[in-house]
């Protein structure tokens, strides 16, 4: 899987968030999109994911076998972000079962195994509305990291996590990211220390 941006830009009204992004993300590599709060790094990740449409340039996706239509990229990717909400009325079990209607988990990962791996097995029948912010973040990470897709997109993945949660996040990346493409938007080094490729959003502010 490759993701190619060519002179890609995004604006809101008349304000350009970034312009002229030309970069290729390659299969099995790990990337960090860096920049201060409010600089547009999360917006760039949303454009890469297809969640937001770009205003100029192109974003293309392809596998070695064929190009991927933009509106089909969601089948090849999973994303965890602070701004995507969980269904509060679901129990944790229902949340996982709902997710599995759209994406399979990695081989050997079941819903019960996923709950166990993120330390939430005792909350299986509890509604999401009663979870702490840290518990909700663990769910978001589980849904993304355990999805059997070639591309993982993580925006500020340690948001609301305590030290134990941060250690769990690192462990999950080490054990389950494998040779998949990983793109992390962050300004916190403990979130992206495993990424050798770094992109500064400030290089594309014009």
Residue whose token pair is 């909400």: 85
pTM over 0.75: yes
pLDDT at 18: 96
Domain 2-204 is of which CATH architecture? 3-Layer(aba) Sandwich (3.40)
Asked whether the CA dihedral 127, 130, 105, 25 is positive or negative, the reply is: positive
Give residue-wise pLDDT tens across range 137-187.
999 999 999 999 999 999 999 999 999 999 999 999 999 998 999 999 999
Angle at Cα 203 formed by Cα 200 and Cα 206, nearest 5°?
140
pLDDT at 205: 86
pLDDT at 21: 97
pLDDT at 97: 97
Closest CA to 63 of 22, 145, 147, 3: 3
Q: Which residues of the chain have pLDDT under 70?
A: none
């Amino acid at each position: 899987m490759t993701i190619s941006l060519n002179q890609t830009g995004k604006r809101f009204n008349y304000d350009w968030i970034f312009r002229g992004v030309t970069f290729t993300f390659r299969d099995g590599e790990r990337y960090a999109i860096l920049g201060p709060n409010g600089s547009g790094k999360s917006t760039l990740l949303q454009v890469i994911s297809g969640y937001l449409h770009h205003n100029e340039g192109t974003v293309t996706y392809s596998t070695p076998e064929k190009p991927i239509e933009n509106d089909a990229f969601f089948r090849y990717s999973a994303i965890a972000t602070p701004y995507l909400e969980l269904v509060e009325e679901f129990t944790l079990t229902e949340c996982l079962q709902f997710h599995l209607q759209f994406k399979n988990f990695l081989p050997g990962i079941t819903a019960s195994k996923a709950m166990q791996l993120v330390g939430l097995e005792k909350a299986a029948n509890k509604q999401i509305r009663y979870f702490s912010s840290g518990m909700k973040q663990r769910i978001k990470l589980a849904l993304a990291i355990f999805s059997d897709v070639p591309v993982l997109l993580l925006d500020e993945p340690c948001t609301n996590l305590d030290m134990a949660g941060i250690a769990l996040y690192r462990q999950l990346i080490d054990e389950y990211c494998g040779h998949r493409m990983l793109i992390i938007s962050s300004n916190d080094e403990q979130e992206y220390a495993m990424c050798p490729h770094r992109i500064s959003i400030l290089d594309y502010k014009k």
